[in-house]
Amino acid sequence: MKNSIVFKVTAASVVILIVGIMLLGGVIMQRVSQQVSDTSLQSQKLNLRVAALIFQDQTPDLKVTIDKAGETTRLVMPEIPDLSSHAMIDKIGTATGETATVFQWVPDKKDFIRVSTNIIKPDGTRAVGTFLGNGSAAYGPVTSGKTFRGEALILGKEYVTQYTPIFNTAGVVQGILYVGIEKAKVAAVSGSIGMRIIIAGIIVAIIATILLAILLRRQLGPFHELGETIEQFVGRDFSAEVPHTNRNDEVGVIAKGLLRWREAAQRIGEAEDAKRIAEGKATGERRDQRNVLAAELDASVGEIIASVRQATEGMMHSARQMSQSANHSIAQSNNVSNAANDAARNVQTVAAATEELSASINNIGGQVEESTAIATNAVNEASRANEMVSGLAVAAERIGEVVSLINEIAAQTNLLALNATIEAARAGEAGKGFAVVAQEVKNLANQTAKATDEIAQQIGSIQNETRMTVEAIEKVTRTIASISGITDGISSAVAEQNTAVNEIASSAHSASIGSTEVVDTIDAVLHAASDGGTAAGELEHSMSDLSARIETLQAKVGEFLGRLRAE
């Protein structure tokens, strides 16, 4: 109940009302007190006029001057009469209901003495013979010939008074006519009026509080009901009916607002239900889309991985073939190298025999009788040389065939390197290392092709020199035959045979140099084939590493697709 807005507003209103009444009562009391005081002073004017007229009635010598406002402005008489009977003062007191006094000036005391008064001292006697006192508030104004109206202390009591000077015919102040009322009586009047005001204020406050409580309960009571409805609405309970919707004041506005709130909340609830249904449907659709996407991604990645794996296997097969071809090239190069070494040795043998033949011819002049035997030996040696040179020609042709084979291997290696480059490009980032190896293999193939071209040129030179050697040997054979048939002309032919032998020696020396170059070229081909085999091995290793990475990639993709389907 204490938390009710009706209670709070009622309590605040009652407090404000009581404070207002108290302030208003204080102001009224002040005004009443002032009004009573002013009324008392005004009544003193009337009382003084009544006293002056009674005094004039008792003493005809007294002249009283009253202005248009009823103010007694001047009292003049020859002298203060004997008032010891106090009959006049009692008559004034009876007429006014207040105190009255006649003062007479005492020159020796320079003060005014009470010659007749109805003021009673504490001992119960009249205050006759007591002085006004120069400390009195009325002393100064009266001695100056002016009327004093106000509060004054008389014999220890406060009075609301009026002192009017009495002049003699010479205009000198000779006495005072006083009227007054005790301030306690005035205060009692003010207190009585204040008490009535307080009682009236309390009654008004009680009545106002009751009416205010009834009015506030009537006007603010619906807020309590609306507050309970709002509390239910805050708890998302919109089943309660909204009261006071038919009112046209602020309560009706709030009630209608709550009604719109309930309608909006119901629409929001329906929207939330539809949202939950839509979200569930969207979640299912997203799950289906993820599954479809995972299936498509699995198929695409699987196809790519299968293609890359197939390409990798093809490249590994090509690398193995390249390695086998390189090994075969190394074996053929070894054979060619051995054959070239044999040819070189044979050519050197021919050169040595030719030198021996040249020495024999130089000694022919002294050994004519042995010419037949020497000719026979020469024929045999020429036949042998012819066979050797023919073997050299056959070896040169074989070298040409080997060079052609190496050239074909280099072309095949270049083609495999091109295929490897294409497959590496398809593999993307994972095939960059393989592309570098394929490029190196391609470069080695090109170098091998260049080397085989140079070998082919050298083989051609060897074949030309071989043909020249064969022709020279045939000439030697014919010459030896002529020597055998024409012994008599041997002397004249010695010079010619010596020249021919020198040519044969020179050709044999050239053939020896060519054979050495062929051996060097074959060694270069052997090294190139060995490098090609090494490159093929590295290519095969790279393909194996690429295959392992493809397996890892497939595992990672499978793991990702598993998480995608699980979400």
Most confident of 49-53, 382-386, 403-407: 49-53
Phi, psi of 116 (to 5 degrees): -155, 130
Give the CATH number of domain 5-208; options: 3.40.605.10, 3.20.20.140, 3.30.450.20, 3.40.120.10. Answer: 3.30.450.20
79-102 mean pLDDT: 91
| C-alpha span between 199 and 186 (Å, rounded) | 20
Phi, psi of 477 (to 5 degrees): -60, -45
Phi, psi of 159 (to 5 degrees): -130, 150
Beta carbons within 8 Å of 238's beta carbon, 6+ residues apart = 232, 262, 265, 266, 269
Q: What percent of the chain has pLDDT over 90?
A: 15
Confidence band of 374 (pLDDT split at 50, 70, 90): confident
Least confident of 271-280, 382-391, 483-492: 483-492
Number of H helices, E strands in the chain: 8, 7
| 3 state DSSP class of 64 | strand
Query: Do residues 128 and 108 make contact, with C-beta atoms less than 8 angstroms apart?
Result: no
- In eight-state DSSP terms, residue 478 is H
In whole angstroms, what separates CA 240 from the centre of its chain? 44
Query: Do residues 442 and 397 make contact, with C-beta atoms less than 8 angstroms apart?
Result: no
Residue 395 confidence (pLDDT): 72
Phi, psi of 545 (to 5 degrees): -65, -40
In whole angstroms, what separates CA 299 from the centre of its chain? 40
Q: How far is CA 77 from CA 60, 72, 107, 131, in A?
A: 9, 14, 18, 21
Most confident of 46-55, 233-242, 334-343: 46-55
83-91 mean pLDDT: 91
Write the DSSP string, 148-196.
EEEEEEETTEEEEEEEEEEE-TTS-EEEEEEEEEEHHHHHHHHHHHHHH
Q: What residue ranges do the domains of the chain occupy?
A: 5-208, 312-541
| C-alpha span between 108 and 89 (Å, rounded) | 26
76-87 mean pLDDT: 91
| C-alpha span between 307 and 209 (Å, rounded) | 98
Query: Do residues 320 and 540 make contact, with C-beta atoms less than 8 angstroms apart?
Result: yes
Residue 306 confidence (pLDDT): 72
3-state secondary structure 389-442: HHHHHHHHHHHHHHHHHHHHHHHHHHHHHHHHHHHHHHHHHHHHHHHHHHHHHH
Query: Do residues 413 and 448 make contact, with C-beta atoms less than 8 angstroms apart?
Result: yes
From the list 456, 473, 284, the residue with the least C-alpha distance to 384 is 473
User: Would you say residue 486 has pLDDT above 90?
Assistant: no
Most confident of 128-142, 264-278, 375-389, 550-564: 128-142
| C-alpha span between 316 and 326 (Å, rounded) | 15
What's the one-letter identity of residue 480? I
Residue 564 confidence (pLDDT): 64
pLDDT tens-place string over residues 547-557: 777 778 767 76
| C-alpha span between 39 and 242 (Å, rounded) | 63
CATH fold of 312-541 reads: Helix Hairpins (1.10.287)
pTM, rounded to two decimals: 0.37
Confidence band of 167 (pLDDT split at 50, 70, 90): very high
Q: Identify the residue whose tokens are 């050697």.
A: 469
